[in-house]
Structure 1
Amino acid sequence: MGKGTHHGSRGKPRRQEVSARESHVAGVGAEFPAKMAMWDFNHCDPKRCSGKKLSRLGLIKSLRVGQKFGGVVVSPNGKDPVCPDDRDIVEQHGAAVVECSWARINEIPFNKIGGRHERLLPYLVAANPVNYGRPWKLNCVEALAACFAITGHLDWASEVLEHFSWGHAFLEINEELLELYSQCTDAESIKAAQEAWLDKIQEDAKEREEEKKKHDDGGWAVGSRRDHGMPGELPPSDSDEYDDDDDEEEEEEEPAFNPSYERPGELPPSESEASEEDDSEDENEDEEEETENPDHEHVHHTEDVLKLKSLQLSDS
């Protein structure tokens, strides 16, 4: 009993030490400047879930299904994007997110969560390890940081991302976009900025495709072969070119397609099969000759009989 109690007493302080260490890292003693909340549907791996980590750090409040939130709610159910005009709402009532898997978004009862100020996020690129480099696929802490940055609190965004080793990458990847959005005023200007950015992306992609096409069609350099235009492919050596010429000559010497093998994929006969066919053709020719001259043997036989009779008469 004493031994078991000893183990129990050792285990409990260890959990307290972990909690204390997380609290110290989070700076819970100095409260975060804005309220943060989430509806957690337990879709994600707790070890990789950014919302759960914020909860362990004491930085975010969990909300129940059916419970509404008075601040800005970053949600796919929103109609307008978050914009600088939402700054007062964020400062007074904070921001909330929906902690769920993108793959199971259809399972979320959006009619039972949310609030008066539901907002979409404009075009941004994820930096989290699960969806790194994918547009729109932000996790909870990225969504909160984006909301803070767009409403004029880049310092809050940086602070909440400090608790994640990859957090700084989100601000670096989206630095230009976040600056662009923060200089807008209302939802309409955010939409216009987003559309202009997406048009620019599309135009850049089109130009790259055209440049690639020109590169592929134009060969490698003056005097180089045009049929070696694949990126990374080296031009042929001199020996390769001579080999190609020999192949072309051999191809010219090859007989034309045999019409007796008209079915696609059918191979010509082997040499043994060809010789057998030649023999059979010779036999057929002999038979044809015999059929063409049926009295040939009979003529020779008649001549022999006449010679024999003439000899007999001379003897007599």
Structure 2
Amino acid sequence: MRIYILPLFRDDPRKSTGLRLIRRGIAEKGAPRGCVVLNPFSRTVISADDVQLAEKKGILAVDTSWRAIEEVRWPRGFWRRLPLLVAANPINYGVPYKLSTLEAISAALFILGYEEKAISVLREVKWGMEFYHLNKERLEAYKLKSREEVEEAERLMIDELSR
């Protein structure tokens, strides 16, 4: 499965997990049309329903600072958001939904059934496996499930957290 990163250079390039994936040859720089675009503002959650599209066209993450996320002009494609996951990156550790680019790509791969590739992406940073351990139960609940099943699992987890 092809992975694309659209870097917007709004944060420190030395700390950018998206640029790291490009430098390591794991992801390509660019934003081809028709791919699955990870967009936190999308109403549609990523799910097994997106596997064929992602295999054919790839997945794309926009690499930018969360402080600048409102200003992003999102590329064309099939916008998908990630369900509830907790960040393990040093900037937003423990914050729901505020994932790094690397965490987002890994989560999407895991949900789409590419567990080995997802783990190899996480191993690119020291704290990567912490993301997996924090979210293992959630990732398993979302993995290769239909859109409705992912939304229901997310709803149950949010209800559980709010108790």
Q: 1:79 aligns with which of 43, 53, 75?
A: 43
- Indicate the RMSD between aligned Cα atoms, in angstroms: 1.4
TM-score (norm 1): 0.50
Deviation at 1:114, TM superposition (A): 3.1
1:236-276 deviation line (CA, Å, top 9, x unaligned): xxxxxxxxxxxxxxxxxxxxxxxxxxxxxxxxxxxxxxxxx
Of 84-93 and 46-55, more deviation after overlay is shown by: 84-93
Question: How does 1:44-83 map onto structure 2 within 5 Å?
Answer: 44-63=11-30, 68-83=32-47
Give the residue type in structure 2 aligned to 1:128: N
1:107 and 2:60 correspond: no
Structure 1, unaligned stretches of length 5 or more? 1-33, 204-316
Matches for 1:217-296 after TM superposition, within 5 Å: none
Q: Which amino acid is 1:198 matched to?
A: I
Q: How does 1:207-222 map to 2 (within 5 A)?
A: none
Secondary structure of 1:39's match?
strand
Q: Aligned equivalents of 1:70 and 1:201: distance in 2?
A: 35
CA distance in 2, matches of 1:158, 1:74: 18
Q: Report which of the two has the higher share of strand.
A: 2
Whichever residue aligns with residue 154 of structure 1, its letter is E
Greater percentage in helix: 1
Give the residue type in structure 2 aligned to 1:52. L
Give 1:113-152 correspondences, 5 Å limit. 113-115=75-77, 117-152=78-113
* d(CA) in 2 for partners of 1:169, 1:118: 27
Partner of residue 120 from structure 2, selected from 147, 159, 164: 159
Q: Percentage identity across aligned positions? A: 33
**Structure 2, unaligned stretches of length 5 or more?**
none
Residue aligning to 1:196: 156
The answer to whether structure 1 residue 93 and structure 2 residue 54 are counterparts is no
The alignment status of 1:42 with 2:9, answered yes or no, reads: yes
Structure 1 position 91, deviation (Å)? 2.1
Q: How many residues align?
A: 163
1:68 offset after TM fit, Å? 4.0
Cα distance in structure 1, aligned partners of 2:6 and 2:144: 30
Decide which structure has the larger Cα Rg and report it: 1
1:177 aligns with 2:138: yes
Indicate the SS of the match to 1:81. Answer: coil
TM-score, length-normalised on structure 2? 0.93
Structure 1 position 69, deviation (Å): 3.0
Shift of 1:150: 0.6
Higher relative contact order (CA 8 A, sep 6+): 2
Residue 73 of structure 2 aligns with an amino acid whose one-letter code is P
User: d(CA) in 2 for partners of 1:169 and 1:76?
Assistant: 22
Deviation of 1:168 (Å): 0.7
Deviation by residue 1:174-212 (Cα, 9 ceiling, x = unmatched): 000000011522x22211111111111112xxxxxxxxx
